[in-house]
């Protein structure tokens, strides 16, 4: 059983919390470059780890991430003017550059010492791999690079990244991302020709190409702690001498990966970046390690991004409209009656409440990855308690892994047997 | 004066509260059969005594009332599939029958012991008398039957029951239901021909057939504790030797009754079922003890049910639009300028706030029934504190009473004088 | 630095708070006469210093300001009938006159003593100077008159008063009203012909008639405590021997004044009346001390009043729509991209949150008036702590001042040099 105390540690991400300090030791993706499309474009409100911030791209194309509120009189800098290499508060004209230095104070005497003595909180930002990353920790312990996720290493035309708001704690997202035992149920289609048959005989596996997924809905899970987090092996029977293995990863602190359903097709993965204790950004990465994405792969990636186009990245469907739940569709065509894999996941994860009470769950053998993730990240938080820097933050190359599926003879260790496929060079 | 402490006891209905335990000792109406119209129809969200639940009707027509959240990972079972004699959570497919037994766990090994060991909270449900009843207490002390209210005993064609949401504590509703001194004021019409006359000369009694109601707006109230709760006698002068008596009832814990305005017409009554501390369902029962309801009686019953048709039973008018208050109508035609007796009651009761502070009221002689109700239900809560079962819960036949009106000679006890009319055989 | 403790004292206005007691020692404007246009017109909900009240104008034209809730059963008297010299609760018909006396109790016996013994909370109201004033303190210490503000003394055709809701504490409003160092920045227009020039070279002063405002954006501020509150002198260089002075006032507890930009034009001022800790009414007064307002002056006054016409006085623009912020306009035409001086002020003041944390500000020399206001009003609250009445409340003639601008030789005291212009006879 997971205690209420551990649940608090797992879910709270504000300044000073154990998990908040852990996340502040690493670079985190938080925006898409499209949100700051050009020099001097409008500033954007950002909320990250429970802090209210504002992002802007200056005249030279550099990105600044500042406290949302002007240090003078606490006016919201979202209303500021982005001009000539700085963001200017419109109340009394204080102006800040991307590093947080004050470069103008028009209502004060020309050579006031205040200009040197006052600063605004600002965080370093990197644009890399199709996303914008922030580091919110001490300058002294800043890691040199973001984690070398494969989707960041491939050329731009080989990846597609979307973003959407989820109204839950990040951990509920991560747990959904690594929970492969729900795939055959939550995301299953139903044979519409035979509504009279029992549910389990009507289920159509999300991918017909892999017969093992349908024939064995209760795979055995094997969890292996790794330097980047955890590898998950899902074992299904393939033949009398062989198993069908699907190997996926959890990468600290909030990345997940899914193996492609067919060889040569795009990989998918997610980052579940905490906005605050009750909300997270779901970044969905679709990438091909060998070639540019084709139309099919782009289409498939896009199902995770049906969001409003007002810059808020809110899904068009939400709890207010029961995620478009259609009871006739649920009777005839799909488990949920909700359209789209992303929306099905969000509906379920949000329906638990923003922070689910893990102390009253009943985990089974199908939930081994869930339990493993919790152990893994609590261990990382403990490491952070005793050390100002995290080893994983200083070893971005540890993240050079990918998911895979393989048929292996009985007796073969799944990590060893798939090592050649899961390693990113 | 009613103390703040007693007000808390009166109004809090959650698990473990004195009143919550009292209500959990009795069957309570909470749904209309129309909400679960057919086997395997969509499940319905229920909130009752502050608990979040889900109701469904299984393939055999039985009704289940379960915890809203799946015991596995706490997913909202409203999103579940109602199929083949059970409600299935769409996340990992756990399936529950109407008794709360788990009948399937597809992502776990076939013969897992978890299936036997895990249960979901479930409550017994009865469909009787035109409503669906729940019992939320200990199985050991479950009363054999719901209270034998006359509206439950008559044939279906002789009753008409509606439901609407009221955004107040149940006790405000009960107090409105037994407060006959407001009828001649809140619900009065005004003579539109003479706007220049004083208000009290312009008032037209809700029913012209009873001259005593208009001629005597300040009746004397007599309160008589009974085994079912309380009988209320409202005495008005009829002649030099006679009184006109209206006898109505409060039946524990939250039923009220109104006498018909003319003999042979339909009776009316309400149940004020607590959703939680701040909301209640108003069930309005219209019934005729002798014959099927006629069109007029059905029409009259329907004024209490102008609600949205999205299954939420919210009134079309609410505090957001001041209940459709029309100041011109108020000037010329009615006390309130609000249309409909039900909406007038709701407007007034909601305007006090969800839980009115009874410690700052000033009760008068016209409020004797209000004070009597409070004494009665607090006494019941005290009985429940010292006993696991309530005598009233085990005596459903005590509820076989109805309201009446009668002209009695001075000196006649009102309960004795009307006993023949108020008894339901 | 301003402590969190002082910020609490400054901002809390409920019953029993130091500032709440201070405000309750003075007459306060809270409504426009247009809100109660005629005898027996509909009652109006009022919230003032955190108290829920209802105002009505009786058949004789007198105004009553009563507790929102009926002392009988706590029904909202907004739903009451305003009739025959009293407001009648529609539940049981209790009726109150403008002094709070109960004049009818129809459901009680004719000569009940309750009618004499029960009262409703009521506050004295005065209609004067184009607004309606309330006094919410002890009857014994009621000041004889409201403050003799010049806008109250001039004939009706020489003044124009608007009202709008602002979702901040009153103190944020007052601080905006006396903060003249923001005028040249927040409210500045930009030269659209030269978008390539730096911001400060593109700024066009709000009024071209005063070259000193544009040539000197960092005036020196001189603060002078006065009997009415505080005089503020803003000094700019005019010539080698002269200064250009603008003299404005803060008048306790929440009035501000602005000097006209040209001689002979209308004066402007504000009252920032606290609705509660988180909201205030912004009254904007435009008046001419010599003659009726002309069309231009009326137009200029009206920019502060673009509000909904449903009686709520909410601005059409608000935080929900970012106050109509237009980033293209902000790039080309104005500092803010928000239309209208009033809306620019509200946007900025609301963006700080309802109660800004003054303990984390960084005040500069341009903020001398802000600091002076805080000292002034905290001093007043201290006076009130040690005395049941305030000297200022009993000296309404102290408020006979107005703002002005003047060119004075070096060495002349600004208050002495402008005394002839700032005095209202």
Query: How far apart, in whole angstroms, are the C-alpha atoms of residue B88 and residue B327?
Result: 52
CB contact under 8 A, B351 and C92: no
Element (H, E) at C330: helix C327-332
Q: Please give the residue of chain B at the shortest CA–CA distance from A333.
A: B81
CB contact under 8 A, B83 and A353: no
Query: How far apart, in whole angstroms, are the C-alpha atoms of residue A263 and residue C397?
Result: 89
Q: Is the pLDDT of residue B198 over 90?
A: no
Q: Which of chain B's residues have a Cβ under 8 Å away from the Cβ of A200?
A: 104, 106
pLDDT band for position A195 (cuts 50, 70, 90): confident
Q: Which among A100, A118, A64, A70 is positioned nearest to C182, based on CA atoms?
A: A70
C-alpha dihedral over A367, A368, A373, A379, to 10 degrees? 140
Region A167-186: mean pLDDT is 93
- Mean pLDDT across chain B: 94
Region B151-173: mean pLDDT is 97
Give first-to-last CA distance, chain A, whole Å.
39
Q: Is the pLDDT of residue C205 over 80?
A: no
pLDDT band for position B304 (cuts 50, 70, 90): low
Of C348, C360, C365, the CB nearest to A79: C348
Distances in Å between the Cα of A88 and the Cα atoms of C180, C186, C216 are: 18, 11, 19
Of C199, C352, C362, the CB nearest to A88: C199
Q: Which of chain A's residues have a Cβ under 8 Å away from the Cβ of B104?
A: 200
Q: Could you say which residues from 22 to 41 on chain C have a Cβ atom under 8 Å away from some Cβ of chain A?
A: none
Query: How far apart, in whole angstroms, are the C-alpha atoms of residue B298 and residue B161?
Result: 10
- Mean pLDDT across chain C: 94
pLDDT at position B159: 97
Residue A366 backbone zone (phi > 0: left; psi -120 to 50: alpha; other: beta) = alpha
pLDDT at position A264: 87
Q: Is the pLDDT of residue C196 over 90?
A: no
Q: Please give the residue of chain A at the shortest CA–CA distance from C323.
A: A79
Which one of A74, A115, A120 would you mutate to disrupt binding with C, by most C Cβ within 10 Å of its Cβ?
A: A74
Domain assignments of chain A as residue spans, ordered by start: 33-129, 150-422
Of B76, B78, B112, the CB nearest to A364: B112
Which one of A73, A89, A110, A113 would you mutate to disrupt binding with C, by most C Cβ within 10 Å of its Cβ?
A: A73
pLDDT at position B226: 97
Q: Which of chain B's residues have a Cβ under 8 Å away from the Cβ of C118?
A: 362
pLDDT at position B158: 97
Of B184, B348, B362, the CB nearest to C71: B362
More confident residue, B109 or C387: C387
CA A165 to chain centroid: 11
Asked if B159 contacts B293 with a C-beta cutoff of 8 angstroms, the reply is yes
Q: Is the pLDDT of residue C195 over 60?
A: yes
Q: How many CA atoms lie within 13 A of B187 on its CB side?
A: 20
pLDDT band for position B206 (cuts 50, 70, 90): low
Asked if B53 contacts B44 with a C-beta cutoff of 8 angstroms, the reply is no
pLDDT at position A143: 98
Burial of A420 (0-12, 13-18, 19+ CB in 10 A): exposed
Q: Please give the residue of chain C at the shortest CA–CA distance from B327.
A: C42
Whether chain B has a CB inside 8 Å of the CB on C119: the answer is no
Whether chain C has a CB inside 8 Å of the CB on A81: the answer is yes
Of A71, A74, A109, the CB nearest to C356: A74
| Exposed e or buried b per residue across C14-45, where buried means at least 16 C-beta atoms within 10 angstroms of its C-beta | eeebbbbbbbbbbbbbbbbeebbeeebebbbe
Q: Which among A95, A123, A99 is positioned nearest to A30, based on CA atoms?
A: A123
Measured at the alpha carbon of residue B305, what is the angle toward residues B300 and B310, in degrees to the nearest 5? 150
Q: Please give the residue of chain A at the shortest CA–CA distance from B115.
A: A364
Query: How far apart, in whole angstroms, are the C-alpha atoms of residue A12 and residue A20?
Result: 7
Whether chain B has a CB inside 8 Å of the CB on A328: the answer is no
Region C89-100: mean pLDDT is 97
Q: Tell me, which fold does domain A150-422 have in CATH? A: Naphthalene 1,2-dioxygenase Alpha Subunit; Chain A, domain 1 (3.90.380)
Query: How far apart, in whole angstroms, are the C-alpha atoms of residue C335 and residue A138?
Result: 35
Asked if C414 contacts C222 with a C-beta cutoff of 8 angstroms, the reply is yes
CB contact under 8 A, C106 and B217: yes
CB contact under 8 A, B218 and C107: yes
CB contact under 8 A, B199 and C118: no
Whether chain A has a CB inside 8 Å of the CB on C354: the answer is no
Long-range Cβ pairs for the range C36-42 (8 Å, 24+): C36/C63, C36/C132, C40/C82, C40/C83, C41/C82, C42/B327, C42/C82
pLDDT, tens digit (0-9, with 9 covering 90-100), for C229-263: 999 999 988 899 999 999 999 999 999 999 887 88
Neighbours of chain C (3+ CB pairs under 8 A): A, B
Whether chain C has a CB inside 8 Å of the CB on B364: the answer is yes
Region A181-204: mean pLDDT is 84
CB contact under 8 A, A366 and B114: no
- Mean pLDDT across chain A: 94
pLDDT band for position B207 (cuts 50, 70, 90): low
CB contact under 8 A, C72 and B361: yes
pLDDT band for position A44 (cuts 50, 70, 90): very high
Q: Which of chain C's residues have a Cβ under 8 Å away from the Cβ of B335?
A: 81, 90
pLDDT band for position B283 (cuts 50, 70, 90): very high
CB contact under 8 A, C186 and A91: yes
Q: Is the pLDDT of residue B259 over 90?
A: no
Whether chain B has a CB inside 8 Å of the CB on A362: the answer is yes
Q: What's phi and psi for B419, nearest 5 deg?
A: -55, -40
> Interhelix angle for B368-386 vs B170-178, to 10°?
130
CB contact under 8 A, A108 and C218: yes
CB contact under 8 A, C335 and A90: yes
β-bridge mates for residue C245, sequence order: C235, C406
CA A163 to chain centroid: 9
pLDDT band for position B191 (cuts 50, 70, 90): confident
CB contact under 8 A, B348 and C108: no
pLDDT at position C18: 98
3-state secondary structure of A337: coil
Q: Could you say which residues from 191 to 210 on chain B have a Cβ atom under 8 Å away from some Cβ of chain C?
A: 198-200
CB contact under 8 A, C91 and B185: yes
pLDDT band for position B404 (cuts 50, 70, 90): very high
**ipTM tops 0.85:** yes
The domain defined by C33-129 carries CATH number 2.102.10.10: yes
* Residue with token string 């603060």: C223
Q: How large is the greatest C-alpha to C-alpha distance in chain C, in angstroms? A: 85
pLDDT band for position A179 (cuts 50, 70, 90): very high
pLDDT at position A180: 84
Q: Which of chain C's residues have a Cβ under 8 Å away from the Cβ of B336?
A: 79, 90
Side by side, which strands form the sheet with B28-31? Answer: B28-31, B131-134, B125-128
Asked if C391 contacts C379 with a C-beta cutoff of 8 angstroms, the reply is no
Q: Which among A70, B72, A150, A34 is positioned nearest to C360, based on CA atoms?
A: A70
Query: How far apart, in whole angstroms, are the C-alpha atoms of residue B318 and residue A87?
Result: 46
pLDDT, tens digit (0-9, with 9 covering 90-100), for C216-226: 777 899 999 99
pLDDT at position B219: 84
Q: Is the pLDDT of residue C133 over 70?
A: yes
Q: Which of chain B's residues have a Cβ under 8 Å away from the Cβ of A338?
A: 79
Region A338-359: mean pLDDT is 95
Of B217, B362, B365, the CB nearest to C72: B362
- Shortest alpha-carbon distance between residue C197 and chain B (Å): 50
Region A157-173: mean pLDDT is 97
- Shortest alpha-carbon distance between residue B208 and chain C (Å): 19
pLDDT at position A201: 82
Query: How far apart, in whole angstroms, are the C-alpha atoms of residue C199 and residue A82?
Result: 10
Task: Please tell me the total number of residues recorded for chain A in this structure.
Answer: 425
Of C200, C322, C364, the CB nearest to A108: C364
Whether chain A has a CB inside 8 Å of the CB on B72: the answer is yes
β-bridge mates for residue A280, sequence order: A166, A274
Q: Is the pTM of this model over 0.90?
A: yes
pLDDT at position C107: 86
Which one of A39, A72, A91 would you mutate to disrupt binding with C, by most C Cβ within 10 Å of its Cβ?
A: A91
Q: Is the pLDDT of residue A10 over 70?
A: yes
Q: How many CA atoms lie within 13 A of B369 on its CB side?
A: 29
Region A240-250: mean pLDDT is 95
Q: Is the pLDDT of residue C208 over 60?
A: no
pLDDT, tens digit (0-9, with 9 covering 90-100), for C309-344: 899 999 989 999 999 999 999 999 999 999 988 899
pLDDT at position A199: 82
* Residue with token string 């004049």: C103
Query: How far apart, in whole angstroms, are the C-alpha atoms of residue B191 and residue B195?
Result: 7
Which one of A90, A106, A118, A310 would you mutate to disrupt binding with C, by most C Cβ within 10 Å of its Cβ?
A: A90
Q: What's phi and psi for B423, nearest 5 deg?
A: -90, 130
Q: How many CA atoms lie within 13 A of B312 on its CB side?
A: 8
- Shortest alpha-carbon distance between residue A34 and chain C (Å): 17
pLDDT, tens digit (0-9, with 9 covering 90-100), for C55-69: 999 999 999 999 999
Q: Please give the residue of chain C at the shortest CA–CA distance from B365.
A: C108
Element (H, E) at C10: helix C4-11
Region A329-348: mean pLDDT is 93
CB contact under 8 A, B91 and A330: no
Please enumerate in sequence order all residues whose Cβ is within 8 A of that of C153, keeping only pairs 6 or more positions apart, or say none: C129, C400, C424
Q: Which of chain C's residues have a Cβ under 8 Å away from the Cβ of A58?
A: none
Whether chain C has a CB inside 8 Å of the CB on B352: the answer is yes
- Shortest alpha-carbon distance between residue C148 and chain A (Å): 32
Q: Please give the residue of chain A at the shortest CA–CA distance from C217.
A: A107
Least confidently predicted of B190-194, B203-207, B346-350, C270-274: B203-207
CB contact under 8 A, C74 and B198: no
């Amino acid at each position: 059983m997971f205690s209420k105390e551990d649940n608090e540690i797992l879910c709270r991400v504000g300044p000073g919390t154990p998990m908040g300090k852990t996340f502040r030791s690493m670079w985190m993706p938080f925006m898409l470059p499209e949100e700051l499309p050009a020099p001097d474009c409008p500033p954007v409100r950002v909320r990250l780890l429970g802090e209210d911030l504002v992002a802007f791209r200056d005249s030279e194309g550099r990105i600044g991430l500042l406290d949302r509120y002007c240090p003078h009189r606490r006016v919201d800098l979202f209303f500021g003017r982005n001009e000539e290499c700085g963001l200017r508060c419109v109340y009394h004209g204080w102006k800040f550059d991307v590093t947080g230095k004050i470069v103008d104070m028009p209502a004060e005497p020309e050579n006031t010492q205040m200009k040197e003595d006052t600063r605004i909180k600002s965080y370093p930002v990197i644009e890399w791999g199709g996303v914008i990353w922030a580091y919110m920790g001490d300058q002294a312990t800043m890691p040199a690079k973001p984690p070398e996720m494969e989707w960041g290493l491939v050329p731009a035309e080989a990846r597609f990244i979307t973003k959407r708001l989820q109204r839950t704690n990040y951990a509920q997202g991560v747990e959904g991302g690594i929970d492969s035992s729900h795939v055959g149920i939550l995301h299953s289609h139903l044979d519409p020709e035979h509504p009279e048959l029992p549910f389990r005989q009507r289920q159509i596996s999300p991918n017909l190409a892999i017969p093992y997924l349908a024939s064995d809905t209760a795979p055995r899970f094997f969890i292996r702690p790794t330097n980047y987090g955890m590898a998950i092996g899902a074992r299904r029977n393939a033949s009398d001498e062989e198993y069908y293995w699907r190997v996926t990863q959890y990468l600290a602190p909030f990345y997940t990966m899914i193996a492609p359903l067919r060889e040569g097709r795009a990989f998918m993965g997610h980052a579940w970046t905490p906005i605050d204790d009750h909300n997270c950004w779901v970044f969905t990465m679709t990438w091909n390690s060998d070639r540019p994405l084709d139309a099919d792969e782009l289409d498939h990636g896009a199902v995770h991004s049906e969001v409003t186009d007002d810059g808020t990245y809110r899904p068009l469907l939400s709890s207010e409209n029961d995620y478009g739940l259609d009871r006739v569709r649920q009777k005839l065509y799909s488990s949920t009656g909700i359209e789209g894999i992303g929306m099905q996941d969000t509906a379920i994860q949000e329906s638990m409440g923003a922070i689910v009470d893990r102390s009253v769950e009943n985990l089974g053998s199908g939930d081994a990855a869930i339990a493993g993730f919790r152990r893994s990240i609590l261990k990382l938080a403990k490491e952070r308690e005793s050390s100002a820097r995290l080893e994983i933050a200083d070893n971005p190359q540890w993240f050079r892994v990918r998911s895979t599926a393989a048929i292996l003879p009985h007796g073969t260790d799944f990590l060893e047997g798939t090592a050649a496929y899961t390693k990113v060079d």
